[in-house]
A and B are shown apart, each in its own frame.
Chain A
Amino acid sequence: MADIPSSELGAGLTIAARAQALLAQIGRLPVLMLIAVIWLGLMLAVAILADLITPYPYTQMDLHNRLSRPVFMGGDWAHPLGTDELGRDVLSRLIASIRMSLLIAFGATIIGAVIGVTLGFVAAHFRGFIEQIVLALVDFSAAIPFLVLALAVLALFGNSITLFVCLLGLHAWERYARIARGLAISGNAQGYSAAVHQLGASPLRLYGRHILPNIASTLIVSMTLAFPEIILLESGLSFLGLGVQPPNTSLGNMVGFGREYLSSAPWIMLAPAFVITITALCISLVGDGLRDKLDPTLT
């Protein structure tokens, strides 16, 4: 009888080998996707390195240089994207805003995924009455457009970054719940989760080691598809003055403030507007690509 070495069975590829494979895949992407990935990488880099690359602190006012034009409209390189009504450098504010908006979007997506997956698993595992409650909550989410719900909560509880992020997190929870519940149920009925349960495994082991990894790719695709929606939501709410509050700045915030100067200094609003649109577009493209590759059954 041959011996299986006592190191891990099926150790698989090393991290380096996996990274190499990933890069090779990226190199094979169609041009559009490549551009999208590059842009997103750029945004990510900006968000992470914000403090290092910002030319000025984003709250720094330069009252001598108010509403100065950006470089491509006749201004000078001191303020490549111009300044706003308080003389603050638009580029610096843009960098800080990118970081804030991305941070909020990431946080909200992860919160939504955790809540959604947990509730989905709970519904699938216990079925019966508990499942009905979860389904009723899903109906409830569908009964009010999320924007309205968010506004109502913001009206009642005022505004703080934590509340805002948690609130946005609730935006897409039912999608993750549906995915989690659907796969857990189909696995439970006649599949490996029935088999693993039959082996005597605890539910924790079942959900943690088997079901969760199997829904991971579908989940990630769904999260990627929902990510731009959160960015758009956040910018919409901030634009209305109800999201990120000064002195913090976010992309929507900037657009909101730039609104008053639409005719006199449109660049204040154009830069963040551009970033919002392009970023949402790129994430969508990547999400669609991921979905086509990993799980075409998702809508």
Chain B
Amino acid sequence: MLHYLGTRLLRATVSVVMVVTFVFIVLRMSGDPAIVIMGADAPPEAVDAFRTAWGLDQPIWVQYISFFKAILGGDLGQSMRDGRDAVAVVLERVPSTLALTVPAFMLNVGIGIPAGVYAALHRNTAVDRIVMVMAVTGFAMPSFILAMLLVLVFSVNLGWLPSAGQDSWFNAILPIATMGFGGAALLARFTRSAMLEVLGQSYIRTASAKGLSWSAVVWRHALQNAAIPTVTIIGFMLGGLVAGAVVVESVFSWPGVGRLLVVSVSNRDLAVVQTIVLMIALTMVTANLVVDILYGLLDPKMQSQTRPARA
């Protein structure tokens, strides 16, 4: 188990290093980083100062090291728009994004998993079909379209909910609903197939034959075993949540990190872009690491590690 953790941690670290390297390389490739980050109309002295500060006149591997050190020290450049520290600019938007993503995640899990389990337990009934249809729709309909449809119905036609800005918590309803639905659909579908696969196993029939009541069978055996693959897909969903945040915040003009990313990309405000990319990568890698740890705890096969000899 410890060995498993060790490898996972190592891989996570390597992933982060690779992301940093990727940003570094791509930044260098797109032109003179000083101009690219400071902007074309920055005064030459500022550009030169930036150059020295970032060591851009040094050999490439020295630059790489100083880039790394700068990142570890929390310095990722200044935003082009207002000259403030990129990290500060990004961090102040994080709460807004969390205000959307956390409830959306809870919606995903809170609706998706029960729906999937229910559909699996009542296979081929009307409920099952409804859940499947919604799941497939949730997959096929991109979040921006769903968002706009919701706006069309609830804002334009019914006038119940606002469609932009962050004035009151009413504004959060549509964005959360949009993100919640998409993820819930995916999770429902996956949970359903995981449950179906578990329910088809012989040990379920054995437990039932032993006289265990059906709900006890489900609770004690089926759910726990279906939880294992479900945990792994939650990690995968996180990526979808982040991507969803980018789009949804843009549609609803919600001032979060996602919208900041889109705006910064349009403006080529690269310090902010690289900050956001690194931050997201770090979050994803950590989240996946947590998922891996959970998986290791849940799956009894991981508890006892015996490696077969290679022949």
Chain A residues proximal to chain B, CB less than 8 Å: 136-137, 139-140, 142-149, 151-157, 228, 232, 235-236, 239-242, 255, 259, 262-263, 266, 269, 273, 276-278, 280-281, 284-285
CA A144 – CA B15 in complex, angstroms? 10
* Shortest distance between the CB of B291 and any CB in chain A (Å): 11
CA A280 – CA B273 in complex, angstroms? 30
Q: Is the CB of B276 within 8 A of A148?
A: yes
Chain B residues proximal to chain A, CB less than 8 Å: 11, 14-16, 18-19, 22-23, 26-27, 29-30, 36, 136-137, 139-145, 148-149, 151-152, 156, 239-240, 242-243, 246-247, 250-251, 261-262, 264-266, 268, 270, 273-274, 276-277, 280-281, 284-285, 288
Of the candidates A142, A146, A277, the one whose C-beta lies within 8 Å of that of B288 is A142
Which residues from A are CB-within-8-Å of B139? 228, 280, 284
Q: Name 10 A/B residue pairs within 8 A (Cβ), A-sorted.
A: A143-B16, A145-B242, A148-B243, A151-B261, A152-B265, A156-B26, A235-B144, A236-B247, A277-B140, A281-B136
Which residues from B are CB-within-8-Å of A277? 137, 140-142, 145
Q: Closest residue to B143 on the A side, CB-wise?
A: A236
Of the candidates B19, B136, B274, the one whose C-beta lies within 8 Å of that of A144 is B19
CA A143 – CA B12 in complex, angstroms? 9
Number of A-B residue pairs having CB atoms within 8 Å of each other in the complex? 134
* Shortest distance between the CB of A76 and any CB in chain B (Å): 24
Q: Is the CB of B280 within 8 A of A144?
A: yes
Q: Is the CB of A156 within 8 A of B270?
A: yes
* Shortest distance between the CB of B25 and any CB in chain A (Å): 10
Known: A142-B15, A239-B144. 10 other contacts (CB 8 A): A136-B14, A140-B15, A144-B281, A144-B284, A152-B277, A236-B247, A242-B266, A262-B156, A277-B141, A277-B145
Which residues from A are CB-within-8-Å of B14? 136, 139
Which residues from B are CB-within-8-Å of A156? 26-27, 29-30, 36, 268, 270, 273
Q: Closest residue to A274 on the B side, CB-wise?
A: B145
Q: Is the CB of B140 within 8 A of A284?
A: yes
Q: Is the CB of A148 within 8 A of B280?
A: yes
Q: Which of A137, A144, A240, A285 has the most CB of B within 10 A?
A: A144
CA A146 – CA B280 in complex, angstroms? 11
Q: Closest residue to B261 on the A side, CB-wise?
A: A151
Of the candidates B142, B270, B288, the one whose C-beta lies within 8 Å of that of A276 is B142
CA A259 – CA B145 in complex, angstroms? 10
CA A228 – CA B142 in complex, angstroms? 10
Q: Is the CB of B268 within 8 A of A236?
A: no
Which residues from A are CB-within-8-Å of B285? 143
Q: Is the CB of A240 within 8 A of B250?
A: yes
Q: Closest residue to A278 on the B side, CB-wise?
A: B140
Which residues from B are CB-within-8-Å of A137? 18
Q: Which of B140, B148, B152, B274 has the most CB of A within 10 A?
A: B140
Which residues from B are CB-within-8-Å of A278? 140
Q: Closest residue to A235 on the B side, CB-wise?
A: B142
Q: Closest residue to B282 on the A side, CB-wise?
A: A143
Q: Closest residue to A288 on the B side, CB-wise?
A: B136
* Shortest distance between the CB of A151 and any CB in chain B (Å): 5
Are A146 and B149 also in contact (CB < 8 A) when A255-B144, A277-B140 are?
no
Of the candidates B18, B261, B277, the one whose C-beta lies within 8 Å of that of A139 is B18
CA A143 – CA B284 in complex, angstroms? 6
Q: Is the CB of A136 within 8 A of B18?
A: yes
Q: Is the CB of A147 within 8 A of B136?
A: no
CA A88 – CA B139 in complex, angstroms? 31
Q: Closest residue to B18 on the A side, CB-wise?
A: A140
Which residues from B are CB-within-8-Å of A139? 11, 14-15, 18
CA A284 – CA B270 in complex, angstroms? 36
Of the candidates A144, A240, A276, the one whose C-beta lies within 8 Å of that of B247 is A240
Q: Is the CB of B152 within 8 A of A262?
A: yes
CA A287 – CA B139 in complex, angstroms? 13
Q: Closest residue to A139 on the B side, CB-wise?
A: B15
* Shortest distance between the CB of B100 and any CB in chain A (Å): 16
CA A152 – CA B242 in complex, angstroms? 14
* Shortest distance between the CB of B43 and any CB in chain A (Å): 23
Which residues from B are CB-within-8-Å of A269? 148
Which residues from A are CB-within-8-Å of B16? 143
Q: Is the CB of A148 within 8 A of B288?
A: no
CA A153 – CA B145 in complex, angstroms? 24
CA A136 – CA B22 in complex, angstroms? 13
CA A152 – CA B274 in complex, angstroms? 7
Of the candidates A136, A151, A240, the one whose C-beta lies within 8 Å of that of B273 is A151
Which residues from B are CB-within-8-Å of A145? 239-240, 242-243, 280, 284
Q: Is the CB of B26 within 8 A of A152?
A: yes
* Shortest distance between the CB of A162 and any CB in chain B (Å): 16
CA A152 – CA B279 in complex, angstroms? 13
Leading 7 A-B pairs by shortest Cβ distance: A281-B140, A147-B243, A145-B239, A156-B30, A155-B265, A280-B140, A143-B15
CA A277 – CA B149 in complex, angstroms? 12
Which residues from A are CB-within-8-Å of B22? 140
Q: Is the CB of A240 within 8 A of B284?
A: no
Which residues from B are CB-within-8-Å of A228? 139-140
Q: Is the CB of B250 within 8 A of A146?
A: no
CA A147 – CA B248 in complex, angstroms? 13
* Shortest distance between the CB of A295 and any CB in chain B (Å): 15
CA A157 – CA B265 in complex, angstroms? 10
* Shortest distance between the CB of B134 and any CB in chain A (Å): 12
Which residues from A are CB-within-8-Å of B277? 144, 148-149, 152
Q: Is the CB of B246 within 8 A of A147?
A: yes
Q: Closest residue to B277 on the A side, CB-wise?
A: A152
CA A259 – CA B140 in complex, angstroms? 20
